[in-house]
Amino acid sequence: MTLKEIAQEAGVSISTVSRVINQSNSGAASKEVQDRIWEIVRRTNYTPNSSAQNLKSGKTSSGQASSHSIACLFARKPDAITDPFFSQLARSIEKEAFKQNYILKYSFTAIDIQHPSTFHLITNNQVDGVAILGRCNKQLLSFLKKHFNYVIYTGLNSLNAKYDQVLCEGHLASEHAIEYLIGLGHTRIAYVGETQNEERYIGYCSTLRKHKIPIRNDFVSNVMLCSEGGYRGTKALLARTREITAVFAPNDLTAIGVMRAIQEEGLRIPEDISVISIDDIDMAQYLSPMLTTVHVPLDEMGKMAAKTLIDRIQGGHHLPMKISVPFYLAVRESCGSPRKMDL
């Protein structure tokens, strides 16, 4: 079904049909004609050909055509989508976007965004804006800068002030967690997770420093942020030293592996070693012991991200906004005071 066919059947011109369907008031049609057109539209299940729409309205040189759609880019690592932190974020972004009549058009994960075919799709003004989930490197950033007017960083602090951001301030979240441990009496706190470009690690360091607690190299295991990483890192850590009384993992996924490794070594959580992390993914409260973790309001973040991005697209604001979400410590079972003999 095309406008032409509808026009023929309704006995009017194509322009009239177009205007009626798009409700552009400029050249209104009579109630009669409108009804006739809508009847045909509904009966034939007509849907506009978006290629034609885009082609027509996508002015190459000046304005962008609005496709009422946005994209999600999992920038951090290839399988970010399998990290609940990001997939939950994507889900809530989509939900909110949908509410506002935008759709989540692409959500790329394991692919190289700069591959020619992707490049095509992305650059043919097919999406109005992009939400970057996770940090992205310089190269990717400059690529995006070139091709998108509307970009928002979601999830992690990007250290880039040019675009909107909805983020969880990693160093603050870490501080929250570490302060809690210190409050319980811990001083020998290990770190298991990525250390490079990881502000959650920076928060770990700065908070210890603040309390004049030296950062010991043998207390730090640099591993990838996943259960396996947590497991391996902790195994190595415990092979190195048994002095620690607590482990801080930068995310829950890692903490799961950390806990496993500790328990496998015959140690108890929290009696022998406390475990704390950040994120509070759905399953955190169903682990044994229930994970004490800094709750990051993922759904709220996603919602805010979508709102902000769409507002920006619609010209609602022009200066880069930086929205930090609040978090709180979900105190559960995996942390306790260190035993006397440890102190």
- Positions that interact with DNA (CB under 7 A): 1-4, 7, 11-16, 18-19, 21-22, 24, 26-33, 46, 48-49, 52-53, 55-57, 59-60
Q: Minimum distance from CB of 146 to DNA (Å)?
A: 17
- Does 193 help bind a second copy (rule: CB under 8 A)? no
Q: Which does 16 bind (CB under 5 to 8 A by kind): DNA, a second copy, none?
A: DNA
Tokens of 28: 């209104």
Cβ nearer to a second copy, comparing 151 with 261: 261
What is d(CA 233, CA 248) in angstroms, rounded to the nearest whole number? 12
Cβ nearer to DNA, comparing 114 with 124: 124
Q: Minimum distance from CB of 154 to DNA (Å)?
A: 31
**DSSP-assigned letters across all residues of 193-253:** E--TT-HHHHHHHHHHHHTT----GGGEEE--SSHHHHHHHHHHHHHH-S--SEEE-SSHH
- Does 39 help bind a second copy (rule: CB under 8 A)? no
Q: Which does 325 bind (CB under 5 to 8 A by kind): a second copy, DNA, none?
A: none
DSSP 320: P
Contact 122, 112 (CB under 8 A): no
- Does 148 help bind a second copy (rule: CB under 8 A)? no
- Does 106 help bind a second copy (rule: CB under 8 A)? yes
Interacting span for a second copy (CB under 8 A) from 10-18, 98-106, 148-156, 334-342: 98-106
Residue recorded with tokens 């070693």 = 273
- Does 48 help bind a second copy (rule: CB under 8 A)? yes
β pairing state of 292-295 and 328-330: antiparallel
Q: Minimum distance from CB of 221 to DNA (Å)?
A: 51
| Among positions 88, 158, 207, 334, the unique one binding a second copy when judged by CB under 8 A | 88
Cβ nearer to DNA, comparing 29 with 290: 29
Per-residue three-class SS string for 10-41? HCCCHHHHHHHHHCCHHHCCCHHHHHHHHHHH
Backbone angles phi, psi at 276, to 5 degrees: -140, 150
